[in-house]
Structure 1
Amino acid sequence: MTSYDQVKPVATGFPVEAPMVPWSTGLCDCFDDCSNCCLTCWCPCITFGQTSEIVDRGLSSCGVNGALYALIGVFTGCSWIYSCTYRTKFRRTYNLEGSDCKDCLIHFWCESCALCQQYRELKNRGYDVSLGWHGNMERHNGVAATAPPTLHGGMNR
């Protein structure tokens, strides 16, 4: 059989989606990381801020997202609405199993467990969540943090 006789794939113009993968840990495996479990139980805004900064790839900060999460929780009691949107973004970024509806239900009924699961997922994917997005990129790329260059004033001779 010559190369002319082989069947060539036909481009359809539709992207092929990768199959969904399961989460690396279960929703109720909170005690696999006791320190994060305790932090999330008492101050979920920190865990949310840390994970959302990485999901946003550094476009938003841990502090801003965590503060917004806390303010929404204090004034409306519905911080789960904000966090479920990030779970959906998280799931789509890493092609994890689930659905938008399931994301909202999980965050409504098991907010702390959901935040812990997202934290563990990032940790299992090699992130040091406490470093944030930029810290992880520097660590991954081997770039050392350096001081900005010194600027000299005016035209000196």
Structure 2
Amino acid sequence: MYPAKPSDAAPAPATGIPVPVGGGSQWSSGLFDCFDDCGLCCLTCWCPCVTFGRVAEIVDRGATSCGTGGALYALLAYLTGCQWIYSCTYRAKMRAQFGLPDVPCCDCLVHFCCEPCALCQQYRELKARGFDPVLGWELSAQHRAAMYPPAAQAMGR
């Protein structure tokens, strides 16, 4: 599925950024479509904390910075090797925000078995929905708002 049209979205209360409402949405790309973007694939393979940090900032709508999310991910990876537990929570948040199905299996299993592919898929999904994770939340939200202006409100008396 491609970015939501303004008619398929409702403005988020705090930001005015259109966010999809309801379920029935599908992932814009498959879990194993990693090689569609070789740059992203290489970045995620060699430094998954960067990809995760960018995804986390957009999913948390700026509440978690890219640096903070990425550093925590790297710290968990270094100390425990269980960073996938942290990253699967962001997949669940993202699925809830966009009404995405938990395919091919539950979020934790996807991240446990295919962490780099899962991170790439989430990143591609954000891009397909009009966000640019490289820009961070503020600039990406402004860019997306310009692409999808809120629907005109009816004038009342």
**Equivalent residue number for residue 24 of structure 2:** 20
Tell me the TM-score normalized by structure 2. Answer: 0.76
SS in 2 for 1:86: helix
**Equivalent residue number for residue 49 of structure 2:** 45
**Equivalent residue number for residue 63 of structure 2:** 59
Match of 1:30 among 23, 34, 53: 34
The unaligned stretches of length 5 or more in structure 1 are 1-16, 143-157
Q: CA deviation at 1:136?
A: 1.0
Identity of matched residues, %: 61
Tell me the TM-score normalized by structure 1. Answer: 0.76
- Distance across 1 between alignment mates of 2:52 and 2:23: 27
Q: Which runs of 4+ in 1 moved over 6 A?
A: none
Q: Deviations over 1:98-123 (max 9, x none)?
A: 17x71000000000000000000011
The unaligned stretches of length 5 or more in structure 2 are 1-20, 147-157
- Distance across 2 between alignment mates of 1:61 and 1:119: 15
- Distance across 2 between alignment mates of 1:140 and 1:32: 23
Match of 1:135 among 131, 134, 139: 139
- Distance across 2 between alignment mates of 1:73 and 1:67: 10
Let me know the Cα RMSD of the aligned residues.
1.5
Q: CA deviation at 1:141?
A: 4.5
CA separation of 1:19 and 1:141: change in aligned 2, threshold 3 A: closer
Query: Who wins on radius of gyration, i.e. which is larger?
Result: 1
Q: CA deviation at 1:70?
A: 0.3
Aligned pairs, how many? 125
One-letter amino acid of the counterpart of residue 113, structure 1: C
**Equivalent residue number for residue 9 of structure 2:** none
